[in-house]
């Protein structure tokens, strides 16, 4: 990796940051291999480990961590912050994928991880798809539809999985509308009787 020498950063501080970033990347890659082998427990552990390395770089963002020997007024160089954000988003997105692959997914956690991705990468279609499917499974059809339509904006019409869930959301929303209509009609009949 090329040196990140920047005004205000000591050479030693930058080397520590570079090492931590490389360690985080290695953990993410190990997690990817575990995910491919369908060992989701180990993959999750590696993605979390990568995020811990990233957190050690960014802890106390105002000071960028006294452990790194920087003054409180220093911030991370933009290219380094961009690399950290991307790696963090990748890990959170992969954590969501791991959780979705479990026999009993924790959909609330999936949504949390996807929201973290969308925060820094609003155009990430995978995060919108996973969030939409998680919301669908939690029976939040309106918000699921919103996420899935965002994903469709980025992916186009050709994604059959997205199209399937959009169709299912529309069906459930129509059913809910019919139930509400009947409920309101019954309430109106009771109030006029």
**Residue 180: what pLDDT?**
78
This prediction's pTM: 0.81
Query: Mapping DSSP to helix (H, G, I), strand (E, B) and coil, where does residue 82 land?
Result: helix
34: confidence class by pLDDT, cuts 50, 70, 90: very high
Kindly report which listed range (61-65, 118-122, 173-177) carries the lowest average pLDDT score.
61-65
188 has pLDDT over 80? no
45: confidence class by pLDDT, cuts 50, 70, 90: very high
Domains of the chain in start order, with CATH, are 1-104 (1.20.58), 105-193 (1.25.40.10)
66 has pLDDT over 50? no
For the stretch 128-183, pLDDT in tens is 999 999 999 999 999 999 999 999 999 998 899 999 999 999 999 999 888 777 77
Give the mean pLDDT of the chain: 87
Sign of the Cα torsion 113, 115, 119, 121 reads positive
What mean pLDDT do residues 1-23 have? 70
- Cβ neighbours of residue 1 under 8 Å, at least 6 residues apart? 18, 21, 22
The DSSP result for 132-181, as a single string, is HHHHHHTT-HHHHHHHHHHHHHHH-TT-HHHHHHHHHHHHHHHHHHHHHH
**Residue 186: what pLDDT?**
75
Largest CA distance in the chain: 83
DSSP 66: G
């Amino acid at each position: 990796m090329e040196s990140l020498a920047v005004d205000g950063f000591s050479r030693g501080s930058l080397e520590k940051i570079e090492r931590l970033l490389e360690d985080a990347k290695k953990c993410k890659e190990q997690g990817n291999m575990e995910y491919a082998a369908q060992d989701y427990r180990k993959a999750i552990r590696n993605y979390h480990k990568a995020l811990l390395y990233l957190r050690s770089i960014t802890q106390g963002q105002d000071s960028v961590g006294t452990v790194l020997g920087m003054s409180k007024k220093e911030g991370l160089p933009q290219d380094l912050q961009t690399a950290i954000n991307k790696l963090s988003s990748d890990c959170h997105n992969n954590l969501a994928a791991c959780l979705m692959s479990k026999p009993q997914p924790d959909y609330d956690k999936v949504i949390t991880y996807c929201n973290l991705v969308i925060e820094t990468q609003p155009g990430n279609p995978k995060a919108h798809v996973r969030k939409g499917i998680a919301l669908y499974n939690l029976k939040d059809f309106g918000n699921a539809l919103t996420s899935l339509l965002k994903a469709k904006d980025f992916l186009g019409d050709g994604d059959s999985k997205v199209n399937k869930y959009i169709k299912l959301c529309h069906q459930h929303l129509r059913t809910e509308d019919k139930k509400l209509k009947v409920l309101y009609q019954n309430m109106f009949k009771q109030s006029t009787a």
